[in-house]
Amino acid sequence: MEALLVLEDGRVFEGRSFGAQGETTGEVVFATGMTGYQEVLTDPSYAGQIVTMTAAHIGNTGVNEIDPEAERPYVAGFLVRSYTDDYSSWRARTALAHYLREHEIVALADIDTRALTRHIREKGALRAAISTETDDTEYLLNLARTASPMEGLDLASGVGTRQPYTWSQGSGEWAGIASPPPRLHVVAYDFGLKRNILRKLVDHGAHVTVVPVTTTAEDVLALKPDGVFLSNGPGDPATLDYAVKHIETLLGRTPMFGICLGHQLMGLAVGGSTFKLPYGHHGCNHPVKDLSSGHVQITSQNHGFSVAAESLPDDIEVTHRNLNDGTVEGLRHTRYPAFSVQYHPEAAPGPHDADQLFTEFVRLMEQERER
Amino acid sequence: MPKRTDIHTILILGAGPIVIGQASEFDYSGVQACKALREEGFRVVLVNSNPATIMTDPEFADATYIEPLTVESVSRIIAKERPDAVLPTVGGQTALNLAVALHNAGVLDEYGCPLIGASVQAVEIAEDRELFKQAMARVGLPVARSGVAITLDEALQIVKETGFPAIIRPSFTLGGTGGGIAYNIEEFRSIVENGLDLSPTNQVLVEESVIGWKEFELEVMRDRADNVVIICSIENLDAMGVHTGDSITVAPAQTLTDREYQRLRDMAVTVMGAVGVETGGSNVQFAVNPRDGRVIVIEMNPRVSRSSALASKATGFPIAKIAAKLAVGYTLDELPNDITRETPASFEPTLDYVVVKIPRFAFEKFPGAQPNLGTQMKSVGEAMAIGRTFAEAWQKALRSLEIGRGGWGADGKEGIDGERLREYLITPRPERPFYVRYALQSGMDERQVARLTGYDPWFVAQFAHILHLEGRLRAFTLDTVPPRLLREAKRTGFSDQQLAMLLHAKPEAVRAKRKTQAIVPTYHRVDTCAAEFPALTPYLYSSYETESESDPTDRPKVIILGSGPNRIGQGLEFDYCCCHAVFALRELGYETIMVNCNPETVSTDYDTSDRLYFEPLTLEDVLNIVDEEGQGLALDPARPSPNIAVIVQFGGQTPLKLARSIEAAGVPILGTTPEAIDLAEDRERFGALLREHNIPQPANGTATSFETAVQVVQRIGFPVVVRPSYVLGGRGMAIVYTEDELRKYMREAADISPDHPVLIDKFLEDAWEFDVDAVADSEDVVIAGIMHQIELAGIHSGDSAAVLPPSMVPAEHLQTMRRYTVALAKALNVVGLMNVQYAMKDDVVYVLEVNPRASRTVPFVSKASGVPWAKVAAQVMTGRKLRQLGFTEEPVIAGFHVKEVVLPWSKFPGVDTSLGPEMRSTGEGMGSGETFGEAFAKAQLGCNRDLPRGGAVFVSVNDADKPNVVPIAREFAALGFRLVATGGTADYLAQHGVHADIVFKVNEGRPNVVDLIKNGEINLIVNTPLGQASFYDELAMRRAGVQYGVVSITTLSGAEAAIEAIKALKSGAWTVRSLQEWHALSAGLRDDQQPIT
C-alpha cells in the first residue's frame, strides 16, 4: 500500500508501508551504518526520531533475539530503500516487518533514501510526519510542523528505567570469553542505556546497578559504587538540569565515565555548553583521533548534539576529536578521575576499535580504590 | 607522521603480461602508485615487461623500463638507477615473488634498497601456507584443518586426516594455478602431482573442504601508526569452492548481521598484525558456515589485488594510491578523501547502493576445456555494475558482460538444457545464473534452488522477486502497461531490450514510451559516504530515483566509450587507447566523459577523465548518458551540435557496434565515419575499393551455406581461411584444407544468415604477415610502424610475436605497404587511427584486412617509437592536422623491439596448445635490444619464458618444413645443444649431415618424447604441426611441455628467432635501457637521418 512521508519544509516522499499501519511524527535523521538495523531500531537514543537507513537493503538477516539493544524498538518511524520479507541468517527468528508490526512501528520502504539524505544534509534534521493511511499532504505537513522540535526536549526521563535494577550478564559466546567474576561495582545512570554497555562493563569485571535519571548523588553514593557511569540517551542534554546537578556533586567523589548523552551531560556539569549539530552523526564509520596517542579509531556514533569546545573550562582536556568535522569527541577532567566520549565504544552496531575505554574506566576505579 | 625524507628514488615492480588471474587491475594500481609517488616529489623508476599498460607510458615515471621481471634483469636496473626503496605491492603476485627473489639473491641488501609497503617476512607468512597457518594459530584465529606436503606421500597422509572432498592449493602460484578439488583418491593424486610441479617451492597445501560455506572478503588498509580501516566487504554469491576471481561477487556484504560482520572485521585487523603488514592494503578472505556461523580465515594477500581494484571502484576509495602514500610514511588521517575533499582517508566507506561483479569467461576459445568452475581461476575479465538495489545491479551487470544477454533472461535467448537442470545448478559453470532462473520459472522451490547452488537464500529470494515482476509485466503490452509498473521495472534493472520482449514491442518503442512518461534514469555519485557529505568527484551510476545528481556542465564535451569487460582479443590495449584519448582531449580543453563497466581498468579510475559513468556499454545506457549530458543542446541529426561528440574508435568492437545508432540519435561521432568503418568490413564494397586502387588481396568470397562455400572454393582453391563476419580476435576462425572440414565448419558455425555470411579467403601458406598502424587526418597519412610477425601466416596476429622495425624484408615491399596504407587511408577518408594487415608471398604484398580504428598494437608501437599515437589520433579527430602537430614522418626507431604473447594453456589442461587463426593469448610482453636476438630473448623473458642456454632440443617438423629445418638444426648443434628427433625428422637431418638422437613418438612405444620431457631431458621443443595423423601425439607432447615448463615453438620462423635470442643470452652482453633512453636515441636518429619517404 502507498504511504507518504512529509517533511516540515513541504517535501514529500512516496513509499510503501511494511511495518505497522498508522501515522507518526518525529525528527528525520539518517543512519549510515551498513549493518545493525536491529541495534539501531532498539537504541533508546533514537527515541523521537524517524530513522532512515542509507544502506540499500534492510531486513536481509531478519530479526533475532540477541541483537536488540533494549527490550523494544524506540524509533518513532523507520524508512528504507528496499525491504523484502525474505531473510537469511542462522540466528533469525522472524521477519523484520513482523517485528515492526508487533511493536507498532510505522515503516516505509521504496523511499528514495538517497534524495532524503541529501535533503537532510542540506537542510538539517527536519521534523516529519508519516502516514500509511492518508494521502492528505496538507494534513501531514501540519502534523510535521506541530511536532515537538528536538531542541528543548527531555526524552531521557521517558525512556530510562523507573526502577533501579542490577545487571551481571556479559557478552558471552560472542566475545568468545567468559565474563570474569565481578570485582567492581558500577552505578549506571540510565538516560536510555544500551544493553551492550552493560555487557561490556560486566566483561570488564563490573557488577552494575542501573538507576533512574532522577536518582540523587547522595542516593548513588549510598550504593558505595567504585564508579559511576553516565549512559547514552535521546533528546536535548540542556533540558536535563536535574541530572547535571547530580553529576556536578558526584564529580571528584567517584570515578566517572560517560558515553554520548552522558558525555554531553558531563560537559554541562563542568560548566560547558552544548549545541545542536545540523544533521548529527549517525553511523559506524566516523574517524576519531585520540589526541594524546595520535591514533585514529573508527567509531560508532549516534548523536544530534555536541559539546562546544570553546565553552569548556581550563581543567577540562579535550582528548578526542572527530576528523570529519573537528567536533569534540572526548573529555577528561584534569583534577578528577572522570572522562567521557561522544561516540560508542560499546559499538553495537559498529567497530570495536574503542573497547579499551572500558579498560580505562576499570583502571580509574581500581586506582581510586587503592587510594 | 609525514612522508619519509630519507628516500628519494623508488623502484616500482609491475605485474608483467596479462594472464588469467593477473590482469589490467595491476595497471590501474601501478598508475595510481606512480602518480601518488611523483606527486610527493619522489623519483619513480618503473619496471614492467607489459607494453600495453598505461603505467609504462614514459610520462608516468622518471625512468620506465620495459624489461623482463627477472632477478637478472631487475638487478641490472637497480645497479643502474640505485633506488632507495622498492615498492612490490602494486604489481600482483609477480611483483611480490620477484621481490622475495631479489631479497634472496641478496640484491636488495647489496644496493641498500629495502622493500616498502610489505616486508619480505610478511610476504612469506602470507604466501607460505604453513607459515600462515602458524601465524593464525598464534593469535587464535581459526583456519581450515590442513597440512603442507612436498611429496605425494605426505599429501596422502594429510588427506587421511582432512578427508574428502579435499582442496589442494599449490604455494606461490597465481590465481590458484594448479589447485583443485579432489573428490576421490585418483583425482587427488593427479592434482597433487600437478600442483607440486607448478609451485615454485614445490609445496601444496591439502585442506579440509569448506565447499558450500559462504565466502566473504574484507579489503583492509593499515598505516604505520597502526590505524586500520576496512574499505569494503565483498560477499561471494558463489559459495566456497569457486575461486573468488571466478565468483559473482556483491558489495557490500548483504547477509551478515552487525555482530557477524564485526567479528570478521576484528579478525581482519588481527590478521594484518599477525602477518606483519605494516602499511598498505590487503585482502582477507573468510568462509562462514551458513548453518552455525562458524568462521575460518582462508587466506590473505599483503598487497593490492583484483579484489582491491574492485573495492576501489565499488567505493570510490583509491586503495592503491593511498597504499603508495602509506608506504612512504604518511598515516591515513594525513591523507584527504579525494571524493569529499573535506574529510580524511582514515574512515570506512559506506555504500547506499549495491555493486555486482560478474566474471567473463572464454571457454569457447578452448575446445576440450571443461567449463566447470573450481579453485583455479579461469575467467579472462569481468564487468561490474552499480545499482540502488541488488536486482538493479544484477541486471545491469549481466548486460554489461556483452555475452549477448539483455539482462537476467527475459530477452528471448534462453537456450536452457532442462534435462540437466540439477547438474547445472549443483556444478558451478558460467551460465549457472540462467539455470537458476529456469529452475525458479519451472516452479522449483526457492529453498531447493538455494540448497543446490549454495547461493544464500536471500539472493535467491531477490531473483524470485525479479521473476515475479516479470510475470506482472507479461500481462501487458507496451500500449497497456501502467506507468507505475514500467517505472518499477526500470527500477528493478530491466533493460529496454528485455521490456521489448516482455511487452511485445521494439526496444526503440520502449525507450520512446518511457521518455514520454518521464521514466528516465537518474544519476548518482559514488561518494564513499552514502550522501553524508557532498561529493566533488563526478563518478556516476544510473538508477531510477527521484532526483539526478549528474549536474552536467555546459563545457564542450567528448564522450569516450570504453571497451567493456576484458576478453581475449579485446583487453588492456584498448583501455590504453581510450585513456590516451582522454589525456589528449583534456589537454585540448574538452570536458572528457568516460563510459565503461570494467572495474579492472585505468579508464574507470575516477580521476582519469573529467567525468566517469560506470555503466553498461549498451545502446540504451549510452543514449541515456547522451541525453543526460546533452541536456539543453537540442540534439538533432540534421544539425550536429558542436558542443558534444562521441569517440567510438578506441574501445574495440564494443563501441563500434553502437556507432550508427549514436549517430542517428544526433550526436556527432569524432573521426572516421561509421560509414567508412562499415565499408572496410563489407566484403563486396571493400573488394571493389581495392580493385579500384589496384591493391591485391587473397582471392575470396562469401557464403551462407555449404553449397555456396563449395562454389567459392572451386574458384579460389584450398586451403582457405573461413570466419564469421564482424569478429574480433579471430573468433570462430579456422583454416580449412578439405571439403569435409569445410562441411563441418559450415554446419557448426552459428548464426549464418544473409546478414552474417561466412567469409572465405584463400589461405596464403608460408606467407609472412605484417601489421601496419597509421594515423590520418583528411589530408595526410603518417605510418606509425610496420611490424613483421614472427609466426608465419595462419597464426592470428594477436597470437604472433612481432618485431619492429622489420629488418628481414626487402625495402621495396615495405614501400609497397606504405603506399597501400596511404591509399587506403585516403580512400576510406580515415581521420584517426588505422591498422592494416598485410601478407607477403612470392614477392607480392596482399592486403588481408583494414581496420580504420585503434588496434591492439598501438601501445606497442607507441612504446617502441616514443610517439603517443593514440593521443595524436585523438587530437586529429578533433580537427587538428598532423602537419600542425608536427607528425608527418614515419618515425625512425632505434634498436629492435619485439612483442611476444602469453597463452593461458596452464589454466586449461587438456586443450591443444598449438597456435591457429583464432586468438587465444591473454597478454603480451615486450623486449627491446640493440639486436633482434637480444630483443627477442628479452621478450621471451618478459613473458616468463626462459629460453635454455644449453641442453637438448627436440625437433619434429612436417614434410614441408623439412628442407628449412636443416640450417636451424645445424645452428642449435653449433650452440652446443644435443638434438633429439623422431624417426622421420632424424633421418632427414642425417641425410643432410646433422646428427640427432632418435626418440619414439608417443604412439610408437616407450620411452617416448613425453617421457623425456617429464624427466627433464628436453629443454626446448621445435614442433611444426604434422596434420591430423599425429594430432594426439603432438597434443600430448605440447601438453607435457606446458606442464613441465619447456618452451614449445610451433613455427620455423619462431625457431630462427629463438636461435638469435639464445645467442644473445649466452653472450650475456645484454643491457637494460629505459624507454626514455630509447626514445632519446630514436630522436637522435631522426635528427641525423633523412626521413623515410
From the list A260, A284, A303, A320, the catalytic residue is: A260
Chain B contact set for A54 (CB, 8 A):
350, 352, 530-532
CA–CA min distance A236, chain B (Å) = 22
Strands (E), chain A: 2-7, 12-17, 23-31, 49-53, 57-58, 77-79, 82-83, 107-109, 126-131, 165-167, 184-189, 206-211, 227-230, 256-259, 274-290, 296-307, 316-322, 328-333, 338-341
Closest approach of chain A CAs to the CA of B178, in angstroms? 34
List phi, psi (to 5°) of A34.
Answer: -90, -15
Cα–Cα distance for residue pair B151/B860, rounded to 1 Å = 43
**Residue A198 to residue B583: CA distance in whole angstroms:** 58
- Rounded to a whole number, what is the distance in Å from the CA of A32 to chain B's nearest CA? 7
Which sign, positive or negative, has the C-alpha torsion A75, A76, A82, A88? Answer: positive
Helix (H) / strand (E) containing B285? strand B280-288
Report how many Cβ contacts below 8 Å link chain A to chain B: 172
Residue B852 CA to residue B776 CA, distance in Å, equals 10
Distance CA B62, CA B855 (A): 27
What's the CATH number for A156-370? 3.40.50.880
Q: Are the beta carbons of B144 and B137 closer than 8 angstroms?
A: no
| Mutation to test the B interface, candidates A298, A320, A352, most B Cβ within 10 Å | A298
Q: Are A342 and A260 in contact (CB under 8 A)?
A: yes
Angstrom distance (rounded) from CA B650 to CA B561: 8
Q: Torsion over CA of B241, B244, B248 and B249, rounded to 10 degrees?
A: 120
CA dist., res. B67 & res. B46, Å (int): 10
What value, to the nearest 5°, has the Cα angle with vertex B291 and ends B285 and B292? Answer: 80
Residues 6+ apart with CB under 8 A from A83: A18, A57, A58, A59, A96, A97, A107, A109
Full-model pTM: 0.95
CA angle B792, B759, B817 (to 5 degrees): 45
Residues β-bridged to residue B222: B228, B280
End-to-end CA separation in angstroms for chain A: 65
Predicted local distance difference test score (pLDDT) of residue B756: 75
Q: Is B292 on the interface with A (CB under 8 A)?
A: yes
**Distance (Å, rounded) from C-alpha B56 to C-alpha B24?**
13
Which cell numbers hold the place of B426? 549443483
User: Which DSSP string do the residues of A18-58 spell out, in sequence order?
Assistant: -S-SSEEEEEEEEE--SS-HHHHHH-GGGBTEEEEE-SSEE
Instruction: Give yes or no for B485 touching A (CB within 8 A).
Output: no
**Pairing of β A107-109 and β A77-79:** parallel
What φ, ψ does residue B920 adopt, rounded to 5°?
A: -135, 0
**Domain spanning A2-145, CATH architecture:** 3-Layer(bba) Sandwich (3.50)
Q: Which residues of B touch A39 (CB under 8 A)?
A: 258
Please give the biggest Cα pair distance in chain A: 66
Beta-bridge partner residues of B318 = none
- Enumerate the residues of chain B whose CB falls inside 8 A of the CB of residue A34: 233, 252, 261, 350-351
Domain spans, chain A: 2-145, 156-370
B residues 321-350 lying closer than 8 A (beta carbon) to A: 331-333, 342-344, 346-350
Is B889 buried (19+), middle (13-18) or exposed (0-12) by CB count in 10 A? Answer: middle
Rounded Cα distance, B390 and A57, in Å:
8
Contact A6, A137 (CB under 8 A): yes
Report chain B residues whose CB lies below 8 A from the CB of A55: 252, 350-352, 530
How much is the pLDDT for B1093? 44
Query: Residues near B791 by Cβ (< 8 Å), separated by ≥ 6?
Result: B769, B799, B800, B801, B915, B1050, B1051, B1053, B1054
A315: number of Cβ within 10 Å = 12
CA distance to partner chain A, nearest, from residue B18 (Å): 35
Q: What is the mean pLDDT of each run of 10 residues along chain B (1093 residues)?
A: 90 96 94 97 98 97 98 97 97 95 97 95 90 94 91 93 89 76 92 88 89 96 96 97 95 97 97 94 96 93 94 97 96 93 94 98 87 92 98 98 94 83 95 96 96 97 98 97 97 97 96 97 97 94 97 94 95 96 96 98 96 98 94 72 90 92 89 92 89 95 88 92 71 82 79 76 88 96 95 82 90 97 97 96 94 95 96 96 94 95 84 80 96 93 91 88 91 95 91 93 84 90 71 72 79 87 87 96 82 48
Per the CB < 8 A criterion, the answer to whether A37 and A99 are in contact is no
Cβ neighbours for B1093, distance < 8 A, ≥ 6 positions apart: none
Cβ B547–A349 below 8 Å, yes or no? no
Helix (H, G, I), strand (E, B) or coil at A371: coil
pLDDT value for B770: 96
Q: Is B930 on the interface with A (CB under 8 A)?
A: no
Question: Distance between the two ends of chain B, CA-based, in angstroms?
Answer: 59
Question: Which string of DSSP letters, residue by residue, matches B597-627?
Answer: --TTSSTTSTTTSSEEEE---SHHHHHHHHH
Q: pLDDT tens per residue, chain A (371 residues)? A: 589 999 999 999 999 999 999 999 999 999 999 999 999 999 999 999 999 999 999 999 999 999 999 999 999 999 999 999 999 999 999 999 999 999 999 999 999 999 999 999 999 999 999 999 999 999 999 999 999 998 999 999 999 999 999 999 998 855 566 778 899 999 999 999 999 999 999 999 999 999 999 999 999 999 999 999 999 999 999 999 999 999 999 999 999 999 999 999 999 999 999 999 999 999 999 999 999 999 999 999 999 999 999 999 999 999 999 999 999 999 999 999 999 999 999 999 999 999 999 999 999 999 998 87
Contact criterion met (CB below 8 Å) for A196 and A204? no
Task: Check A121 against B262: CB less than 8 A apart.
Answer: no
Which residue has 629463438 as its cell numbers? B1058
B956-980 b/e (C-beta count within 10 Å ≥ 16 → b): bbeeebbeebeebbbbbbeeebbbb
- For residue B382, the cross-strand partners are B359
ipTM of the prediction: 0.97
Task: Give the amino acid at B262.
Answer: Q
Let me know: does A77 contact A127? Beta carbons within 8 Å.
Answer: no
Interface of B with A in 187-226 (CB under 8 A): 225-226
